[in-house]
Chains A and B, each alone.
Chain A
Amino acid sequence: MKKISMSKILRYLLTYGLITLILVMATKFLQDRAWFLSVFFYLSASLIFSTYVISKKTPGKYLLPGVLLLCLFHIYPAFYSGAVAFTNDSNGHQLSKTQAIDAILQDSKIPVQTELPINYQVVLKDSTREVFLVFKYSDSSYWIGNSKSVVKLDQSQLKFSINGQIQSVDGQKVLASDQVERYINQIQNITIKMASEITLQPIDLETLEASQPVFTYNASVDQLTNVLSGEKYQPNDNGQMVSDSGELLYPGWKANIGWRNFTSVITDKEMRTPLLAVLTWTIVNAFLIVTFGFLFGLVLALIFNYKHMRSKRFYRTIFIIPLAIPSVLSILVWSGLFTAETGVIDRIFHISTPWLTDPWWARVAVLIVELWSTFPYMFLISTGAIQAIPSEILEAAEIDGASPTKTFTQIKLPLVVRTVAPLLIASGAMALNNFGAIYLLTGGGPTFSNSNGNAGATDILISYTYKLAFNGQEGNNYGLASALSILNFVLVGAISLYGLRKMKTMEEIN
C-alpha cells in the first residue's frame, strides 16, 4: 500500500482551501459590483488550480504567488491611476450616478401639511416579532405597515375601544404605551412609503410625519424637477445636476471628464503656476542632491583612501551612521533642530534664520538634510570605484611623468564616473520621489500664496500629489492627484530608461 504522507495532505488542504477562499471572495466582489477585482480573483483561482494541480511545469509554481501579488498591488494600481486620472473622483464625487440621484431625492424631503396629526399605534406580529405601525391616513382609511410594506385595512379587521382607539388588528392586540418604548429602536428606523412619493416617519412615540421629496426624477429624460418651483435640473459634464440658472445639486457623482484634469493644469493659471514651480523644484532638487552628494562623497573617498592614514575604519563606520538611523525619525529630528531661533542650529551658530518659513532657506534646509542622508552611500560607491581602478594604470601614468592633477582629472575621475554613472542615475530617479525628506521636514512649505493653499516652495510632485489626495484644502481630489501621478510616472520612466540605455552602452563597451 502506498503511504500517504502528511505533507501531501497538507498540500492538498492548502491548495484547495486557498482556491475556495479566493472563489468566495471573487463572488462577493461580483455581488458588490467590483468588476475588476472579481474577474482578477476568478482568474487567480483558475491559475492556481492549473498551476498547482494540473500542470507539471515547475517554474510557474514558484513564480505565481509573487506574480499575482505584483499584479494586484503594484501593476494594477499604476493602471488604475491612469483610469482615475480621467474622472473627477474627489470628495462629493464618489458615488455612482444612481446613488447620487437617490441621495439627492432622500436629502431634499420636506414635510407635507396634513389636516390632523397622524397618530399611530404599534402591533407586534406574533410569528416574526416584527414591528408594524397602524395609523389613520388622509381620508379615513386605516393602514398597517413598516419599511418593507404597507397595506390598507378593512374596517372588519379592526376592533375599536369605546373612546375610538384601536384595540386590535386581526385579533392582534396593539401595544400599550409603556410597552411601545421597548421597541423604540426599531420604530424610529421605520420609513413607510405611501403613494405619490410621500413617506411617513415616526417623530415621537405617537405621531407620524408625512414628507415628500422636493425633487422628482424622470429617468427617460434624465431630469430632476423641483416640485415647488418647477425648476428643472439636468446632468452637466462634471457629474452634477444643474439647473438652467446654474444652481448645482449635491452630491455629485464620479463622472468621466476626459482630459480635463490634464488640460486644467495647463490652462488654469491658478494651477499652472504652482505646478510649474513644483515640477521645476522636483527636477532641480533631484539633480542638485545627486551632484552635491556625489561630489561630497567622492572628495571624502579621495581624502580617506590614503594608505598612510590610520583609523580609516573608524571614520568609515561613523560616516555611514545616517544610513542606520530610520530616516523618518532623523528627518523629524532635523526638522526640530531647524526651528527658527529656538532650534539648536540657530542657537549654536548664533544666527536667526527663517529656515522653514522662507522659501529659499527652506530649500537650503532640504538640501542640507538630503546631503546628510545621501553622502554615506556616495562615499561608499566612490570608495569602491577608486579601489577598483587597476594600479597598473596609475603606475603607468606615474612613469610617463603625469602630474597628480593630471592623473586625477584624466584617469581617476573619468574611470570613477564611468563606474558609478548608472548608480547615480538610479539615485536621481529615487531622489525624484524623496517624499520623506520633503514632507516630514517642511511639509512642502512654505505654501505659495497663489496655489489654493496646497503647493509650497519645497513641494515635489509626490508630496504635492499626496496633499491633493489626502490633505486637500478644498477637499480630497483623487482624480487630479492621479493625473499628477501619471506625470510623475513619465518623469521617473524617462530617467530610468536613460539609465538603462547608458548601462547597456557601457556593457557594450566592456
Chain B
Amino acid sequence: MKIALLLDSKKFKFWMRKVLWRHLVGFVVVAFSVFPLIWMISGAFDVTGQISTQMLIPTHKGLDNFAQLFSNSSKPFLIWARNSMVVAISASAMQVGIGALAAYTLSRHRFKGRKLTLSTILIVQMFPQLLAATSLFLIINTFGKSFMFLGLGHQLPLILVFGGSALGVNTWMLKSFFDTLPTEIDEAAKIDGADHFQIFRKIIVPLATPIFVVTFLLSFIGILNEYLITSVILGLDGNKMTVAVGLQQFIYGQYGKNWGPFTAGALLATIPVLTLFIFLQKHLVSGLVSGSTKG
C-alpha cells in the first residue's frame, strides 16, 4: 500500500526521470576514478602476487607481498622511502621559505623593478625545469668534479635544483594571500618600532600559517612525484633512488614477476599522500577563509 503510494508519488516519478540516470553515470565515473587504486589494493594483499591471476577480491589474502618488499636487499624500499622524505621535506621547506621571503617583499614593498620581477617569474614559470634536464645533468656533473657532495648521485644538488624553482612555484600563490592581509597591522607594528623583518616574522608568518601548510604540501607531493630530474641527478643506483624512481625500476618490464611486492610498495607510498590530500583539501578551503578573517 505504502510502496504503491510511494511509486505512484510525483516525487518518485520525478526522481526516476531526472535523477536516477545521474546516479548511474556517477557510478560509472566512480568506478573509473578508483579503478587503479582498487587494483593496487587488491594486488597488495593477493598472496599469489601474480598479475595474471589477480581477482578484484583476492582468493588468498595475506601480507606476504609486504614481507617480500621489506626483505629485498637489492631493492631497499625503506631506504628509498627515507631518501624520498629527506629530499621532499628539505626541498619543499626551501621552496616555501624562499617563496615566502620573495612574496612578502613583492606584496608589501613598492620598489623599482617590482613589476619586472613579477612578470619575469610568470614567464619563467611557463618553462618547467625538466625541459632543460640534459643541461642540469651536465651542470651537476661539473659541480661534482670540483665538489664531490654536489655531484651526481647526491641529494644536496637535487634539493638545490628544486629550490631553484621556488620563485616560480610558490611566489604568486603566497603573494596573493599576503595581499589579503590588511596592511594596517604592519603600520601599527611599524609605529611600535618593529623593523621589516620583525613584521615578517611576528605578524605575516603567523597569520599565513594555513597557506604555508598548503604550499608546503603541494610542493611536497610534487617533489615526491618527480621522476625525470630525480632519476637524472640521483642515478639508478639501488641505495640512492627515491620511491618513485625505485618502484619504477622495480616493476619496469617485470609485471609478471614483481607485481605483488610492487603494488604493496605503491600502496604504502599512496596512503600518506592520499591522507595528506584529504587533509589538504579541507585546509585549502578553510585555511584561505580563516586567514582573511583573522586580520
- List the interface of chain A (C-beta within 8 A of B): 25, 28-29, 31-32, 34, 37, 57-59, 61-63, 65-67, 69-70, 72-78, 80-81, 84, 89, 300, 303-304, 306, 308-309, 315, 318-330, 332-337, 339, 342-344, 347, 372, 376, 429-430, 433, 435-436, 439-440, 443, 462, 465-466, 469-470, 478, 481-482, 485, 488-489, 492-493, 496, 500
Contacts and interface: CB of A to CB of B under 8 A. Distances in A.
B117 interface: yes
Nearest to B254: A336
B101 to A, nearest CB: 4
Given A319-B30, A323-B277, A488-B131, A303 B25 contact: yes
B274 interface: yes
Q: Which 8 A/B pairs are nearest by Cβ-Cβ distance?
A: A73-B164, A342-B52, A324-B277, A77-B132, A62-B105, A77-B135, A496-B126, A80-B135
A328 B146 contact: no
Contact of B39 (A57, A308, A333): A333
B137 A325 contact: no
A440 B105 contact: no
Given A59-B109, A63-B101, 16 more contacts: A25-B146, A63-B117, A65-B101, A66-B102, A66-B167, A308-B18, A318-B33, A319-B29, A319-B30, A324-B273, A325-B37, A329-B270, A332-B247, A332-B248, A466-B133, A485-B134
Contacts of B224: 326
B127 A489 contact: yes
A326 B244 contact: yes
Nearest to A499: B126
B1 to A, nearest CB: 26
A62 B178 CA distance: 15
B26 to A, nearest CB: 5
Nearest to A469: B134
B194 interface: no
B22 A304 contact: yes
Given A28-B146, A466-B228, A57 B22 contact: no
Contact of A81 (B51, B98, B134): B134
A500 B3 CA distance: 59
24 contacts: A28-B146, A31-B146, A59-B114, A65-B98, A69-B98, A69-B160, A69-B163, A69-B164, A70-B166, A78-B131, A80-B132, A80-B135, A81-B135, A318-B34, A321-B37, A325-B36, A326-B225, A469-B137, A470-B137, A470-B232, A478-B137, A481-B134, A489-B127, A500-B122
Given A73-B161, A462-B131, A344 B51 contact: yes
Contact of B111 (A59, A326, A334, A439): A59
Contact of B166 (A66, A318, A321, A466): A66
A28 to B, nearest CB: 5
B255 interface: yes
Contact of A66 (B99, B129, B228): B99
A376 B273 CA distance: 17
A76 B30 CA distance: 45
Interface of B: 14-15, 18-19, 22-23, 25-26, 29-30, 32-37, 39-40, 43, 51-52, 54, 98-99, 101-102, 104-106, 109, 111, 114, 117, 122, 124, 126-139, 142-143, 145-147, 160-161, 163-168, 171, 196, 221, 224-225, 227-228, 232, 244, 247-248, 251-252, 255-256, 259, 262-263, 266, 269-270, 273-274, 277-278, 281
B19 A309 contact: yes
B55 to A, nearest CB: 9
Contacts of A330: 36-37, 40, 270
B268 to A, nearest CB: 10
A453 to B, nearest CB: 16
A466 B131 CA distance: 10
A80 B227 contact: no
A69 B170 CA distance: 14
Contact of B132 (A28, A34, A89, A485): A485
Contacts of B281: 320
A332 B251 contact: yes
Contacts of B135: 76-78, 80-81, 84, 482, 485
Contacts of A430: 128
Given A342-B256, A435-B130, A462-B131, A329 B244 contact: yes
A337 B133 contact: no
Contacts of A429: 126
Nearest to B18: A308
A332 B142 contact: no
A84 B147 CA distance: 22
A73 B102 contact: no
Given A433-B128, A433-B131, A466-B228, A25 B147 contact: yes
A306 B25 CA distance: 13
B143 A328 contact: no
Given A328-B244, A332-B251, A492 B127 contact: yes
A308 B14 contact: yes
Contacts of A84: 134-135, 138
Given A77-B139, A493-B127, A326 B145 contact: no
Contact of A332 (B33, B196, B266): B266
Given A66-B98, A325-B273, A342-B51, A469 B124 contact: no
B22 to A, nearest CB: 5
Contacts of B232: 466, 470
Contacts of A32: 145-146
Given A339-B255, A466-B133, A435 B227 contact: yes
A343 B36 CA distance: 12
Contacts of B133: 465-466, 469, 485
Contacts of A81: 131-132, 134-135
- Residue of A28, A321, A327 with highest tally of chain B CB at under 10 A: A321
A74 B165 contact: yes
Given A59-B109, A343-B51, A469-B133, A80 B274 contact: no
Nearest to B244: A328
- Residue of B29, B114, B160 with highest tally of chain A CB at under 10 A: B29
B167 A70 contact: yes
B131 A37 contact: no
